[in-house]
Amino acid sequence: NYRNGHTIPAEGLYPHQWLWDSCFIAIGLAHYDIERAKMEILNLLKGQWSNGMVPHMIFDPALKYRQDRELWRSYTSPYSPDGIATSGITQPPLIAEAVVQIGKKLSKEDRRAWYAKTYPHLVKYHKWLYRDRDPKNEGLVLLVHPWESGLDSSPPWMFDLEQNHMALWIRAVKWLKLDGLVNKLRRDTHFVPPGQRLSTTDALLVFHVLRKLRHKGYSHQRIMKSKLPKVEDAGFNAIFIRANSHLKHMAKTLGLDLPQSLAADIKHTEEVYNDLWDEAASQYFSFNINTGEKILIPSIATFLALYSGKISKDHAAKLVEHLNNHQTYAAKFPVPSVPQNSTWFAAHRYWQGPTWINTNWLIADGLDRYDYKEEAAKIRESSLQLVERSGFYEYFSPNDGSPAGAKNFSWTAALTIDFLNRK
């Protein structure tokens, strides 16, 4: 899947560069081709906007992808880079993780040089997340599109879109049963059976929000004043907390102090993440700023809290109980992206049931940090089994391990390499 300077997630369905994909890919590459791992990250940083945002996609410049680029029109923002077409939103901030994993493979001197090169970009990115995505200084950053969460069609997000962002024209398509027609225009269902992707209504909702963001020129002031989605996402903030810890480590290695305001913001996030905990359900939920309520729909995002490394031991133990519960997450091939007893659960549908290798990687990493070594090893082992049986698929049924989504999916391959190297 190598292209010019970066790796695409999969041929056909995903022909561009994606933010968190490239981070997982670099983590795998670091085990055997350090220069390519570095290149993967540096190429990603070429797409960074002047306001600090790292976009979730960088487009292939080929003529045949003009339509993809035009969907976003990143050039409408004064902050987008010259000559590089990108999306206008971000994705889970895993770059610091990838940078540090690469750093581990380098000599002391090379590590310093590698950090020195990437650190300024990361400081700028994390500052942007605080400035534009936490304008009221509440400590948690908010997302404006489900794709920013990385778990694109996760039930809490689809619920918000269906409840609060259903445009009249989408209702009309539903009433008039024009789904079939719309499906013809969808790219994803050309490559993957429709039952493994979003419903047409959900797909339209997702594109509707994208269009609105584009109409606002991706301007944070305009977005904040609008009714567009605003969610303090439990998964994204957990990954951000971990990324901040990595950033602190990089600063220390370089003998630098983090900018004071950034250091204060980082501390604040670690303190308030706990507000996303729901005592009754004993798990973390995302918070919807627009409605002022938590979105009380269970999803795998809750377990990413373990990866943050900053939750209490008590909460970690409660999350492990969920992982061990056969009604919910203890599937034959864990960890399902939604609990098996959820009304949303569908074994093969994109983030609404399947097991993904990247979330397994993050959860296993978190479990290790809280000393649940056995549980972590089990998840890694089962991930390897999935791949051994079927190949590097995008996702798998937690019930019987059958594969789904794109074939030859890059992060599945890259993280397999990482798992094997830990054995």
Which residues does the annotation mark as catalytic? Answer: 152, 394
What's the closest the beta carbon of residue 365 comes to ligand GLC, in angstroms?
Answer: 17
How far is Cα 225 from Cα 323, in angstroms, rounded to an integer?
39
Rounded to whole angstroms, the Cα distance separating 158 from 163 reads 8
Q: Which helix (H) or strand (E) holds 72?
A: helix 66-72
CB 272 within 8 A of CB 234: no
Q: How far is the CB of 167 from ligand GLC (least distance, A)?
A: 22
Helix (H, G, I), strand (E, B) or coil at 99: helix
* Torsion 140-23-406-384 (CA) sign: negative
Binds ligand GLC by CB under 6 A, chosen from 1, 14, 235, 319: 14
**Region near ligand GLC per CB under 6 A, out of 16-24, 61-69, 207-215, 280-288:** 16-24
The Cβ of residue 275 has, within 10 Å, a number of other Cβ atoms equal to 14
Q: Assign 3-state DSSP to the chain and report helix, strand, coil percentages, each to 5.
A: 55, 5, 40
Report the nearest approach of ligand GLC to the CB of residue 378 (Å).
24
Find the shortest distance in angstroms from Cβ 72 to ligand GLC.
Answer: 14
Which of 9, 339 has the CB closer to ligand GLC? 9
Among the candidate windows 15-23, 211-219, 243-251, 315-323, which touches ligand GLC by CB under 6 A? 15-23
Residue 25 or residue 123: which is nearer to ligand GLC going by CB? 25
Peptide bond into 335 cis (omega under 30): yes
Give the nearer residue to ligand GLC in terms of CB position, either 18 or 287: 18
Q: Give the binding range for ligand GLC (CB under 6 A) out of 17-25, 203-211, 320-328, 377-385.
A: 17-25
Alpha carbons 248 and 403: distance in angstroms, whole number: 39
Q: Is 40 in the site for ligand GLC (CB under 6 A)?
A: no
With contact defined as beta carbons under 8 Å apart, do 283 and 302 qualify?
yes
Q: Which stretch binds ligand GLC (CB under 6 A): 13-21, 45-53, 116-124, 237-245?
A: 13-21
Binder of ligand GLC out of 9, 139, 366, 398 (CB under 6 A): 9
- Closest approach of Cβ 293 to ligand GLC, in Å? 25
Q: Which of 6, 17, 18, 368 binds ligand GLC (CB under 6 A)?
A: 18
DSSP 46: H
Name residue 283's beta-bridge partners: 278
8 A C-beta contact, residue 147 and residue 91:
yes
What is the torsional sign of CA 76, 81, 82, 84?
negative
Q: Which is nearer to ligand GLC, 60 or 152 (CB)?
A: 152
| 140 to 179: interface string for ligand GLC, x by CB under 6 A | ----------x-x---------------------------
Could you say whether residue 20 binds ligand GLC (CB under 6 A)? yes
Query: 330 or 346: whose CB is closer to ligand GLC?
Result: 346
Taking the complex as a whole, the smallest distance from the CB of residue 345 to ligand GLC amounts, in Å, to: 17
- Bridge partners of 7, per DSSP, are 2
Q: What is the DSSP letter of 283?
A: E
Residue 215 bridge partners (DSSP): none
| Interaction mask 105-144, ligand GLC, x per CB under 6 A | ----------------------------------------
265 token code pair: 């913001």
Question: Which of 1, 6, 15, 21 contacts ligand GLC by CB under 6 A?
Answer: 21
Per the listing, tokens 């993957």 go with 192
Interacting residue ranges for ligand GLC, rule: CB under 6 A: 9, 14, 18, 20-21, 150, 152
